Amino acid sequence: MELLKRVTHPLVVVTNREPYIDERTRSGIRTIQKAGGVVSALDPLLQSLGGDWVAWGSGTADRDTAPKGTRLVPPKSPRYRLHRVFLSPEEIQGYYTHYANQGLWPLSHLLIERAQFSRDAWPIYRSVNQKFARRVAQQSPPQAWVFSHDYQLALLPQELKKLRPDIAIAHFWHIPWPTFPVFRLCPQYQEIVRGLLGADILGFQTPDDVDNFLTAVERTVKSALVDRDGGDIFWQGRTVRVRAIPISVDVEAIEALVESPRIARWARGIRRRLKASHRYLGVSVDRADYTKGILPRLAAIDAFFDRYPEHRGQVVFLQVVVPTRSEVEAYRKLFREVEQETLRINHRYAYGDWKPVITVRRAVDRARLMGIFRAADFALVSSLFDGMNLVAKEFVSAQVDGRGVLLLSETAGAAVELQEALHVSPLDPEGLAATLHQALTMPVSDREARMRRMRQQVHEHTIYDWMAQIFELLQEVSETYARS
Ligand code: ADQ
C-alpha cells in the first residue's frame, strides 16, 4: 500500500467507538466488528503498520478479554494493540449520552431546540476527555502521530498536548461546524474551541466548516492570529493547520464486493425480479437519526405518489433504518414515528402485491448492502444536515453498471463534491417529489453521464487520499518539531 510509506512515525488512533467489540452471548464471547467508514479504513492500515488504537471499551465482555484494558487485535491474527478506556455508567451518561449526543450533536447540526447542555454533564465530559488523554499519553511512543476523532473528544487535543508536547496531533471533526451565532449557544463554546486548538492539524469535511471554525476562533480566542487564506492559526507559539479534507470511501473494496460472484448474482436476481414486475427500486440507508431527514423523506414519498399517480405500482422504496442511540428518548420517538408514517403511506397507496415502502430495521451485512446499491435504480439521501454522508459515496461506488440516479440533499457535505447528483432540499416535499419524477423519466444517456462523472470523482478522492492528506500534514508538523 502506497499509503504505508507516508506513515513515518508510530501511529496512535483515537476514537470514541472501538474497532473490535467483545460481547457476551449464550454460547460464549463473540467479537463484533462494526462496519463504519472510518473504522473499516483505519483497521487495515493499523493491521499493516502495527501500532495502537485507543477507544471506549463498550462491549459487555470487554473487561473479560482485556482485564487491564489492552488486548491484541484482530483476535485471530493479532496485528496491533487496542487500548480500552473503561467508563462507569455515570461517565457514559454524562460524556456520551448527554454532553456529546444531546448537546454537541444536535447543535452542530443546527437543531438548536433539541440541544441540551446540562451543568452536570460538562465536568464529566471534560474528565472523560482527560482520561482518554492520559491513556493516549501513556501508550504513545516518543514523537508519535496521534490521529483522533470527532465531537466526543473535542478536549482531547489540548489535554494531550499538555501531557505530551512531543506528539503531533491531527484531529478530524466528522460533523458540520455551525456558524458562530449557533455555536455560541453551547455554554462551554470557549473551552471546546480551545480544546481543539491543542491539535496541530484540524480536519473538517467542507470549506464552509473550516470558515465557520476560523470565525469561532477569531471571536473566541483574541490572542490567536488567524490566516484565513492559508487556514493557519498561530497561537501560543504553535501553528494549527485547519483544512477541509473531505472523507471518502474505499471505492475499490466496494467494487470488489459487488463484483464478487455471490453478490453479483444476488444483485442480478433483484434486477430480474424488478424487470419481471416492471418496477423500479429506490433505496435509502440511514441510522435512525433525526438529522437524516427520514420523516421529510417519507413526506416526499407521499407527495410523489399523490402528485404522480402514474408511478403507483411501479416504484418501490426500500428504507433501511437501523436503530441508533436508543438510550436517548428523541431517538426512540423518531423510530416510532417512522414506523407510523410508513404504515400510513403503505395503507394509503398499497394495492395487490405492491407496497410502496419496504422497511428493513436492522444493520444489513455490508456486502449485501452494497449489492442492493448496485441493483437499485436510485438512492435518496435526504439529510437535514450531514458532515459528509458516506452512503451517497457508497452508492456511487457500488454503481458499477453506471445507470442509477443519486438524489442528494444539498445540505449534506457530500453535495459539495457530488455535483452531478440531483440536489434536493429535504424540507421541500413537493420539490423532492418532482425530482423523483425527473429521476425516473430521465433519458438513460443523461443518467449514465451523471453517474460516470460521479464515479470518476470518488475514484479520484478515496478514503486513502483522505488519509494521505492527513499524513502529509503530520509529516510537515513532525519536520517543524524536529527543527525547533
Ligand atoms: P454517520 O452519521 O453515521 O457518520 P454516514 O456517513 O452516512 O453517517 O455513515 C453511515 C455508515 O453506516 C455508512 O457506511 C452506511 O453504509 C452504514 N450504515 C448505515 N445504516 C446501515 C444499516 N442499516 N446496515 C448497515 N450499514 C449501515 C458520521 C457523520 C457523517 C460522516 C461520517 C464519516 O454524521 O456526516 O459522513 O461520520 O465522517
Can you name the residues that pair with 242 across neighbouring β-strands? Answer: 202
Which residue has its alpha carbon closest to ligand 1 atom 21? Answer: 363
How far, in Å, CA of 210 to CA of 238, rounded? Answer: 19
Kindly report the number of other CB atoms within 10 A of residue 16's CB atom: 19
The type of residue at 185 is: L
Question: What pLDDT shows up at residue 207?
Answer: 98
Q: What is the pLDDT of residues 328-364, one digit of tens each?
A: 888 999 999 999 999 999 999 999 999 999 999 988 9
Which residue has its alpha carbon closest to ligand 1 atom 22? Answer: 363
Which residue has its alpha carbon closest to ligand 1 atom 16? Answer: 391
Nearest atom (ligand 1) to Cα of 386? 35
How far, in Å, CA of 302 to CA of 284, rounded? Answer: 15
For residue 211, the CA-to-ligand 1 centroid distance in Å is 24
Question: What pLDDT shows up at residue 324?
Answer: 86
How far, in Å, CA of 83 to CA of 80, rounded? Answer: 10
Nearest atom (ligand 1) to Cα of 364? 24
Pocket test for ligand 1, best of 388, 397, 406, 416 (most atoms within 8 A of CB): 388
Which residue has its alpha carbon closest to ligand 1 atom 1? Answer: 389
Q: What is the pLDDT of residues 138-187, one digit of tens each?
A: 999 999 999 999 999 999 999 999 999 999 999 999 999 999 999 999 99
**Residues lining ligand 1, CB < 6 A?**
36-38, 174-175, 247, 285-287, 320, 322, 363-364, 369, 386-391, 394
How far, in Å, CA of 23 to CA of 460, rounded? Answer: 38
Q: How far is CA 187 from the centre of its chain?
A: 25
C-alpha cell at 439: 429521476
Q: Is 310 exposed, middle or buried (0-12, 13-18, 19+ CB in 10 A)?
A: exposed
Nearest atom (ligand 1) to Cα of 176? 35
The ipTM, to two decimals, is 0.99
Alpha-carbon distance values, 302 to 274, 307, 372, 427 (Å): 21, 9, 23, 14
Q: Whose grid coordinates read 437543531?
A: 111
| Confidence band for 40, pLDDT divided at 50, 70 and 90 | confident
In the predicted structure, residue 35 carries a pLDDT above the cut 70? no
Hey, is 143 helix, strand or coil?
A: coil
Alpha-carbon distance values, 289 to 149, 276, 319, 483 (Å): 20, 35, 13, 47
For residue 390, the CA-to-ligand 1 centroid distance in Å is 6
Which residue has its alpha carbon closest to ligand 1 atom 4? Answer: 389
Q: Phi/psi of residue 255, each to 5°?
A: -60, -40
Q: Phi/psi of residue 461, each to 5°?
A: -135, 80
For residue 286, the CA-to-ligand 1 centroid distance in Å is 7
Which residue has its alpha carbon closest to ligand 1 atom 28? Answer: 174
Pocket test for ligand 1, best of 390, 397, 458 (most atoms within 8 A of CB): 390
Which residue has its alpha carbon closest to ligand 1 atom 35? Answer: 387
Please give the share of the chain, as a percent, with pLDDT higher than 90: 92
143 conformational bin, left if phi > 0, alpha if psi -120 to 50, beta if neither: left
Nearest atom (ligand 1) to Cα of 363? 24
325 conformational bin, left if phi > 0, alpha if psi -120 to 50, beta if neither: left
Nearest atom (ligand 1) to Cα of 391? 7
Q: Do residues 256 and 400 make contact, with C-beta atoms less than 8 angstroms apart?
A: no
> Whole-number mean pLDDT of the chain?
96
| Confidence band for 44, pLDDT divided at 50, 70 and 90 | confident
Supply the DSSP symbol for 24.
Answer: E
Nearest atom (ligand 1) to Cα of 387? 35
Q: How far is CA 367 from the centre of its chain?
A: 18
For residue 394, the CA-to-ligand 1 centroid distance in Å is 10
Hey, is 316 helix, strand or coil?
A: strand
C-alpha cell at 442: 430521465
What domains, with CATH codes, occur in the chain? Answer: 2-247+464-483 (3.40.50.2000), 251-460 (3.40.50.2000)
Question: What pLDDT shows up at residue 325?
Answer: 87
Which residue has its alpha carbon closest to ligand 1 atom 11? Answer: 36
Say if strands 280-287 and 378-381 run parallel, antiparallel, or are unpaired.
parallel
Q: What is the pLDDT of residues 391-434, one digit of tens each?
A: 999 999 999 999 999 999 999 999 999 999 999 999 999 999 99
Which residue has its alpha carbon closest to ligand 1 atom 3? Answer: 287
In the predicted structure, residue 6 carries a pLDDT above the cut 70? yes
